[in-house]
């Protein structure tokens, strides 16, 4: 029998992430949309420099806004994000691909794609949730916080690095 | 499924008359462009049917705007091209409005926080496949074109229940409300074990009322 991360468990996990983040001042914020079953999600903004993999001289300073929400149909957490350049314009999917070699070799439209935010129903760049169950499955029994464990695996693909403090709690 | 073939075909062939006009603020030519009329299928998506519309209006907008992505607006709202055309019409077309459906074309100020960019057809396909995949996960725990017959030869397989399970796991559906949509996990059986379909949904299945 497949084990799933339940919505209750997911909510507890993200609330714990926010607690750790508050101690570290790492910036994760809990948000909630009223009247929606899976309404709770967390958000973090951070600024980072991206380098083009095939031309190390091309660098660009960008701001990421990450959202972690619960995808009801797949029964898994989802990480989605927006990327702004400092002229205020959003990165398109293609522009983001240019700066991300890790995704280049896969079928990109299947891996990182534009999808609706599971709560806000607005377009976000999203790591497609169809493989998440495979990744998170082993953590469901062994991790105190499967969401952190899963993020430690997939975060790299989207330039999200977790501080060690989080990993001590999973 | 096959018994309803006539009805399914009627639905498949449903079309809407649409009149496209370029936003007058974006016209840079001294001539006003003629409106563009088109019969569009309800069961399609705007990026798949608006190539000719784009071509028609392109010569009337400023040169530096021509490369920009075209978007559609109705009554001040950008149309979410990733919703099927029929759904958009049912959501936005008011009882006082008259056909043809008058849509405004824009090349400037793409509302990128509200609608997807669609720089190519793969983007549309990718979104459609993602929806299909999600529905398949809901129905089958994830184990498993534009011509009516071709569509059904594939869709029949997607609509079959698998050998081990008598029913779909959940019924895949979305309720389009206001600005977005709501989803819920609903099993295809009633509490007393009878088969359930969307016609038998009750308040617990769709608790979102529109006031």
Q: What pLDDT digit, counting tens, does each position of A61-92 carry?
A: 999 999 999 999 999 999 999 999 888 888 88
Cis omega (within 30 of 0) for bond into B100: yes
Q: What's the CA gap between B161 and B166, in Å, rounded?
A: 6
Task: Indicate the pLDDT class of residue A35, thresholds 50, 70 and 90.
Answer: confident
Task: Indicate the pLDDT class of residue B211, thresholds 50, 70 and 90.
Answer: very low
Nearest to A169 by CA among A152, A157, A153, A156: A152
Q: Looking at chain A, how many residues does it have?
A: 170
Distance from CA of B170 to the nearest CA of A (A): 9
Three-point CA angle A23, A28, A30, nearest 5°:
110
Query: Are B123 and A115 an interchain contact pair (Cβ–Cβ within 8 Å)?
Result: no
Question: Where exactly are the structural domains of chain B?
Answer: 2-119, 122-200
Higher local confidence (pLDDT), B154 or A1:
B154
Average pLDDT over residues A122-148: 90
The CATH architecture that domain B2-119 belongs to is Roll (3.10)
Q: Which residues of A touch B182 (CB under 8 A)?
A: 36
pLDDT at B16: 96
pLDDT at A114: 84
Q: Is it the case that residue A30 has pLDDT exceeding 90? A: yes
- Which residues are CB-contacts of B182 (< 8 A; sequence separation ≥ 6)? A36, B174, B175, B208
Tell me the Ramachandran region of residue B51: left when phi exceeds 0, alpha when psi lies from -120 to 50, beta otherwise.
alpha
* CB nearest B137 (choices: A37, A73, A113): A73
In the CATH hierarchy, which fold is given to the domain comprising A7-167?
A: Yope Regulator; Chain: A, (3.30.1460)
pLDDT at B14: 94
Higher local confidence (pLDDT), B140 or A110:
B140
pLDDT at A40: 96
Least confident piece of the model among A98-112, A141-155, B167-181 = A98-112
Q: From residue B33, how far is each of A49, A169, B21, B29 by CA, in Å?
A: 45, 63, 8, 8
- What backbone phi and psi angles, to 5 degrees, belong to B112? -75, -15
With CA atoms as reference, the chain A residue closest to B135 would be: A73
Q: Is the dihedral of CA B71, B74, B78, B83 positive or negative?
A: negative
Q: What's the CA gap between A130 and B166, in Å, rounded?
A: 24
Q: Is the dihedral of CA B155, B156, B159, B160 positive or negative?
A: negative
Average pLDDT over residues A50-70: 89
- What backbone phi and psi angles, to 5 degrees, belong to B154? -85, -45
* A80 counts as catalytic: no
For the purposes of burial, counting CB atoms within 10 Å of the CB of A116, is it exposed (0-12), middle (13-18) or buried (19 or more)? buried
pLDDT at A146: 95
A72 shares contact with chain B (CB less than 8 Å): yes
Task: Provide the token pair at B164.
Answer: 């081990």
Per-residue pLDDT tens digits for B92-150: 998 899 999 999 999 999 998 888 887 778 888 888 888 888 888 888 765 554 566 77
A135 shares contact with chain B (CB less than 8 Å): no
Query: Are B125 and A120 an interchain contact pair (Cβ–Cβ within 8 Å)?
Result: no
Q: Which residues of A touch B208 (CB under 8 A)?
A: 35
pLDDT at B1: 52
Q: Is it the case that residue B78 has pLDDT exceeding 60? A: yes
A113 shares contact with chain B (CB less than 8 Å): yes
Q: What is the mean pLDDT of chain A?
A: 88
Average pLDDT over residues B61-70: 85
Q: From residue B189, how far is each of A127, B4, B186, B205 by CA, in Å?
A: 33, 22, 8, 12
Task: Indicate the pLDDT class of residue A43, thresholds 50, 70 and 90.
Answer: very high
Q: Is it the case that residue A95 has pLDDT exceeding 80? A: yes
Per-residue pLDDT tens digits for B79-96: 999 899 999 999 999 889
* Beta strand ranges found along chain A (DSSP E): 29-32, 40-52, 55-71, 76-85, 112-116, 123-127
Q: What is the mean pLDDT of chain B?
A: 85
Q: What's the CA gap between B121 and B126, in Å, rounded?
A: 9
pLDDT at A17: 96
Q: Is it the case that residue A102 has pLDDT exceeding 70? A: no
Per-residue pLDDT tens digits for B167-197: 888 888 888 887 788 888 888 888 888 888 8
Average pLDDT over residues A139-161: 92
Higher local confidence (pLDDT), B6 or B20:
B20
Please name the helix (run of DSSP H) or strand (run of DSSP E) that holds residue A103, with its range, or none.
Answer: helix A101-104
pLDDT at B2: 55
């Amino acid at each position: 029998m497949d084990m799933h991360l339940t919505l209750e468990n997911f909510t507890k996990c993200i609330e714990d992430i926010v607690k750790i983040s508050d101690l570290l001042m790492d910036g994760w914020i809990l948000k909630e949309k009223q009247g929606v079953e899976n309404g709770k999600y967390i958000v973090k903004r951070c600024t980072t420099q991206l380098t083009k993999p095939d031309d190390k001289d091309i660098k660009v300073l960008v701001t990421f806004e990450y959202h972690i929400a619960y995808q009801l149909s797949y029964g898994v957490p989802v990480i989605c994000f927006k990327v702004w350049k400092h002229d205020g314009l959003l990165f398109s999917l293609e522009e983001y691909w240019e700066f991300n070699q890790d995704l280049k070799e896969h079928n990109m439209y299947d891996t990182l794609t534009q999808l609706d935010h599971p709560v806000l129903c607005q377009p976000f760049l999203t790591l497609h949730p169809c493989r998440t169950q495979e990744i998170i499955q082993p953590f469901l029994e062994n991790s105190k916080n499967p969401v952190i464990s899963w993020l430690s695996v997939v975060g790299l693909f989207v330039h999200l690095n977790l501080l060690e403090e989080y990993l001590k709690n999973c | 499924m096959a018994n309803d073939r006539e009805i399914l075909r009627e639905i498949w062939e449903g079309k809407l008359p649409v009149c496209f006009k370029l936003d007058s603020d974006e016209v840079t030519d001294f001539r006003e462009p003629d409106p563009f009329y088109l019969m569009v299928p309800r069961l399609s998506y705007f990026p798949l049917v608006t190539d000719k519309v784009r071509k028609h209006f392109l010569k009337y907008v400023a040169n530096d705007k021509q490369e920009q992505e075209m978007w559609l607006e109705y009554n001040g709202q950008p149309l979410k091209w990733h919703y099927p055309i029929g759904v958009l019409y049912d959501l936005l077309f008011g009882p006082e409005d008259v056909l043809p459906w008058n849509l405004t074309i824009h090349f400037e100020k793409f509302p990128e926080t509200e609608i997807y960019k669609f720089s190519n057809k793969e983007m549309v396909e990718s979104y459609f496949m993602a929806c299909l995949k999600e529905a398949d996960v809901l129905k089958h725990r994830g184990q498993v074109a534009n011509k009516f017959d071709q569509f059904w030869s594939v869709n029949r397989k997607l609509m079959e229940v698998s050998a081990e399970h008598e029913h779909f796991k959940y019924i895949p559906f979305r309720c389009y409300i206001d600005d977005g949509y709501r989803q819920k996990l609903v099993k295809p059986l009633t509490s007393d074990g009878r088969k359930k379909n969307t016609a038998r949904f009750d308040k617990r299945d769709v608790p979102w009322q529109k006031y």
